[in-house]
Amino acid sequence: MLDPDRVRLFVRAALDEDLGRGDLTTEVTVPDRARACGDLVAKQELVVAGMEVARMVFQVLDPALQWAPEAREGERFFPGTVMGTVTGRARALLSGERVALNFLQRTCGVATLTRRFVGAVEGTRARIRDTRKTTPLLRFLEKYAVEVGGGVPHRAGLDAAILVKDNHIRLAGSVRQATLRAVAGADGREVEVEVERFGQIEEAIQAGARMILLDNFTPDEVREAMESIRGRVLVEVSGGVRLDNVREYAQAGPDYIAVGALTHSAPAADISLEIE
């Protein structure tokens, strides 16, 4: 669930960025008392996410507006279908249009791409995870969209979980030393360790890792690693994962597949606001 107070904060900041001292064009062309109705229209097949954010954009500008959503979060919509209708002050609709669409196109884009990855691994044990490769300050929205699309959220930030990565290992001196330090300071939290070579897997497990992240392994290498791990710890795969090979990775048997592209490369969904 999205925190409405947090959403409102970001909506106001986005409107301040776009409006500045005012919408000059709208103020000189549209009468102050004019009212209008706008349809949010899907221009492509998409998974809906973030409708509440779009609503809040318009409501900040016109608290008395009428909002009639046709779409529920997670639903699939098709080109030409109306996702929702907003009715209120014409100036508010025009001034909020771009900000509302920017948010909605981003969240729907992330949810849509996530759903494609989730569908590609259907029937396997693997679950699709996001990463921290997110747009600065918009992580909470993008990770929300991943969940709407059927993905599983990874840590929200560095304070949420312990994941020992390659640079931690280099600075600690070895996988074993980095893992031992992480376990000692974990305060009961589970420790995940990223490995780049087969030889590091057993080293991490023996030092107390509860999850292994296989970084840039091929599907065949993942399959071989799973045979050596034999279910002793959870396994995550990351690096080099694409829509055209994610199922091959999933069939190798990992518990999770982390896909940075869900947030750093999701194309914006094509959505328009058609005003009458």
Q: What is the pLDDT of residues 60-105, one digit of tens each?
A: 999 999 999 999 999 999 999 999 999 999 999 999 999 999 999 9
Catalytic residue among 8, 133, 210, 223: 133
Instruction: List where CATH 3.90.1170.20 sits in the chain.
Output: 4-118+267-275
Count CB neighbours of 269 within 10 A: 26
The mean pLDDT value for 167-187 works out to 97
Model confidence at 9, pLDDT cuts 50, 70, 90, reads very high
* Residues making up the chain, counted from first to last: 276
67 or 188, higher pLDDT = 67
pTM of this structure: 0.95
Catalytic site residue from 76, 139, 165, 223: 165
Query: What is the pLDDT of the chain when averaged over all its residues?
Result: 97
Report DSSP state, residue 266: P
- The gap between the terminal CA atoms of the chain, to the nearest Å, is 32
pLDDT higher than 90, residue 1: no
Spot the catalytic one: 62, 142, 194, 255: 194
Tokens at 99, concatenated: 């900000």
Bridge partners of 46?
A: 77
- Give the pLDDT confidence score for residue 82 in this predicted structure: 98
Give the model confidence (pLDDT) of 234-255 as tens digits: 999 999 999 999 999 999 999 9
Determine phi and psi for 247, rounding to 5 degrees: -70, -35
For domain 123-264, is the CATH number 3.30.930.10?
no
Report yes or no: 201 and 225 within 8 Å, Cβ to Cβ.
yes
Which of 96, 81, 82, 80 has its CA nearest to residue 36? 96
215 carries an active-site annotation: yes
pLDDT class of 276 with cuts at 50, 70, 90? confident
Catalytic residue among 8, 35, 76, 98: 98
Degrees (nearest 5) of the Cα angle 94, 100, 105? 130
Confidence of residue 226 (pLDDT cuts 50, 70, 90): very high
- Residue by residue, what is the 3-state secondary structure of 12-26? HHHHHHHHCCCCHHH
CATH architecture, range 4-118+267-275: Alpha-Beta Complex (3.90)
> Of the listed 215, 236, 247, 255, which one is catalytic?
215
Does the annotation mark 43 as catalytic?
A: no
Specify whether 23 is catalytic.
no
